Structure 1
Amino acid sequence: MAKRVAVILSGCGVYDGTEIHEASAIMVHLSRAGAKVQMFAPNVEMMHVVDHCKGQPGTEKRNVMQESARIARGDVTDLAKLDVTAFDALIIPGGFGVAKNLCDWAIKGKEYSIKPQVEKIIKDFHKAGKPMGMCCISPVLAAKAIPGCELTFGHDSECDMWPHAQVAKSMVEMGCKHMNKNVDEVHVDKKNKLVTTSAFMCNAAIHEVFDGLGVMVSEVLKLA
């Protein structure tokens, strides 16, 4: 029987929404595995809209769900309608939209909080013993919703290949266990059924990110 997977998006575009290559790769791997997928997004205003040519925010206002529909080819559902009992697993791609629209990590760092709607869904999947996959920056959601969980953001020593290693150190300071993994690897927290991988936290080639996300999807489906 096909596994039923919910995918939560946070907009469209790396600087203010979902990282498009990550979302696309995840969908390809889920499709190849024969999974039945439904994409969701919160029906709320984005924190801000970034000009992706300049990397600078403007004054325009946009809706997270409407922007996510660009990735979902229009087939996106209001996150408020996500019924945990209807799915076998949850996957959340990365992108700054996670840190801006699903939580406020981008503004508050370690003092961040998750949007209540998102936090409830993660906790409900966890309570039901259903696996979750998170990549890039999205494991910060698990770090807050599942205290003490094991996860990876890649490596915890900053260098040209790993420019965001400070995030890993922050997770340790929050009481989580960070596992150093390469971009084509994942970490599986068996106790919490949480599968994480670094994706674009690393300055890797796009095919390496694609391959790592394939491992994440495979491991999530094994646990489902």
Structure 2
Amino acid sequence: MAGSSKRILMLVGDFVEDYEAMVPLQMLLMLGHEVATVCPDKQAGDSVATAIHDFEGHQTYSEKPGHRFAINADFSDLDETSFDALIIPGGRAPEYLRLNERVLDIVRHFADTAKPIAAVCHGPQILVAAGVLSGRQCSSYPAVGPEITAVGGQYVTPGKNLDTAHVDGNLVTAPAWPAHPAWIRAFQELLEST
């Protein structure tokens, strides 16, 4: 990794999916990247609550309390132009983060400049709201598929075990945390190529 360390921005909020924030953060740090974790109305030293989503044979995922996830940068002082890539975990946070116009402007910057964007599970809800999926292929948790299609994107159906990732140019997406190995591998490959 010598010389290829990147500055990555991670957008989170309360009830972000625990594994989808914690594990990618740890994996990216292990690879030598710098990751700034931010949340609207939060600053460095704050934290967000997480939720653990599991697949236990019900018609949808179950939800349990997770850990606290540390915020290490101030959202209000954020300069997105100083980052090389963006990562958007899933969980319940995207459903309300997408209502924040500043969040959408940040996402549009990464899309407009073709910097790597990684989104997982419900994270693509923010991409939908930012208007950056028209004509793009995108995977997500299956419940988000109709939203992707409604804005002119092509929903990529995940594998049965939700463990696949999909790459479309600068965009790498996946359906849920079981895809972490494939998703982060594909994201790392994008980071290495930029």
Bin the TM-score by the shorter chain: 0.7 to 0.9
**1:88-131, Cα deviation, whole Å (9 max, x unpaired):** 1010111101113x02xxxxxxxxxx310111000111222211
- Mapping 1:177-192, distance limit 5 Å: 177-182=154-159, 183-190=162-169
- The answer as to 2:129 corresponding to 1:133 is no
Distance 1:50 1:129 in 2: 29
Point out the structure with the larger helix share.
1
- Output the aligned Cα RMSD: 2.8
How far is 1:20 from its partner?
A: 1.0
Which residue does the alignment assign to 2:77?
81
- Mapping 1:1-224, distance limit 5 Å: 1=3, 2-11=5-14, 17-43=15-41, 70-72=68-70, 75-100=71-96, 102-103=97-98, 114-145=99-130, 146-148=132-134, 149-153=136-140, 165-182=142-159, 183-190=162-169, 193-200=170-177, 208-224=178-194
How far is 1:223 from its partner?
A: 4.5
Instruction: State the identity as a percent.
Output: 27
Distance 1:37 1:10 in 2: 16
Distance 2:107 2:11 in 1: 11
How far is 1:7 from its partner?
A: 0.8
Provide runs of 4+ in structure 1 moved above 3 Å. Answer: 49-52
How far is 1:184 from its partner?
A: 2.4
Q: Which deviates further from its counterpart, 116-125 or 169-178?
A: 169-178
TM-score norm. by structure 1 comes to 0.66
Alpha-carbon spacing, 1:99–1:184, altered in 2? closer, same or farther (3 Å): same
**1:52-105, Cα deviation, whole Å (9 max, x unpaired):** 9xx7xxxxxxxxxxxx9x312xx42232322122111010111101113x02xx
Distance 1:85 1:92 in 2: 17
**Where does structure 1 lack aligned partners over 5 or more consecutive residues?**
12-16, 56-67, 104-113, 155-164, 201-207
How far is 1:143 from its partner?
A: 2.1
SS in 2 for 1:133: strand
Question: For the Cα contact (< 8 Å) 1:22–1:213, is it kept in 2?
Answer: no
How far is 1:50 from its partner?
A: 10
TM-score norm. by structure 2 comes to 0.75
Question: For the Cα contact (< 8 Å) 1:26–1:217, is it kept in 2?
Answer: no
**Where does structure 2 lack aligned partners over 5 or more consecutive residues?**
43-48, 53-62
Question: For the Cα contact (< 8 Å) 2:139–2:175, is it kept in 1?
Answer: yes
How far is 1:166 from its partner?
A: 3.9
Question: For the Cα contact (< 8 Å) 2:8–2:83, is it kept in 1?
Answer: yes
How far is 1:178 from its partner?
A: 1.0
Question: For the Cα contact (< 8 Å) 2:118–2:171, is it kept in 1?
Answer: yes
Question: For the Cα contact (< 8 Å) 2:18–2:51, is it kept in 1?
Answer: no
Query: Highest CA radius of gyration, 1 or 2?
Result: 1
Point out the structure with the larger strand share.
2
Question: For the Cα contact (< 8 Å) 1:132–1:220, is it kept in 2?
Answer: no
Which residue does the alignment assign to 1:161?
none
